[in-house]
C-alpha cells in the first residue's frame, strides 16, 4: 500500500508499472497496437496527472513517472517516424 493509505495512488503506480513493462516489449507490437497503446497510456497519464498532486508521490515515484513520460514521448515520436517512412 502506498503511504497515502489509499488505493488510488497504489493502483496508479501499479498501472504505471504495467505501462512500463508493455513499453519495454513495444518493439514487437504491430503498428496499430503501438498506436492504441500510446493513446491509452497517454490518456492514463493525463488522468493521473490531473488527479494526483505532486506532493502525494515520493521523490522516487516522481522521478519514475517523469522518466516514463519521456520514454512514452520518445515511443510516440518513433511511431510517427515509422508511419511517415511507410508512406514513402
Report CA 18 to chain centroid distance, whole Å. 9
The model's pTM: 0.78
Tell me, yes or no, whether 30 lies in a domain: yes
Structure confidence at residue 82 (pLDDT) = 76
Dist CA 42 CA 7 (whole Å): 21
First and final C-alpha spacing in the chain: 50
Question: Does 2 fall in a domain?
Answer: no
What confidence tens digit (pLDDT) does each residue in 14-64 have? 999 999 999 998 888 898 999 999 999 999 999 888 888 778 888 888 899
Q: How many CA atoms lie within 13 A of 29 on its CB side?
A: 18
Which secondary structure element, helix H or strand E, spans residue 48, and what is its range?
A: helix 31-51
Work out how many domains the chain is built from and give that number.
Answer: 1
Residue 68 belongs to some domain of the structure? yes
Owning domain of residue 63: 7-86
User: What are 64's three cell numbers?
Assistant: 519514475
Task: Answer yes or no: is 26 within a domain.
Answer: yes
Amino acid at each position: 500500500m502506498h503511504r497515502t493509505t489509499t488505493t488510488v495512488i497504489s493502483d496508479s503506480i501499479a498501472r504505471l508499472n504495467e505501462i512500463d513493462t508493455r513499453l519495454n516489449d513495444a518493439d514487437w507490437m504491430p503498428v496499430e497496437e503501438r498506436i492504441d497503446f500510446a493513446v491509452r497510456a497517454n490518456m492514463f497519464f493525463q488522468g493521473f496527472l490531473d488527479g494526483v498532486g505532486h506532493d502525494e508521490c515520493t521523490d522516487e515515484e516522481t522521478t519514475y513517472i517523469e522518466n516514463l513520460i519521456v520514454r512514452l514521448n520518445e515511443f510516440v515520436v518513433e511511431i510517427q517516424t515509422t508511419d511517415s517512412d511507410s508512406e514513402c
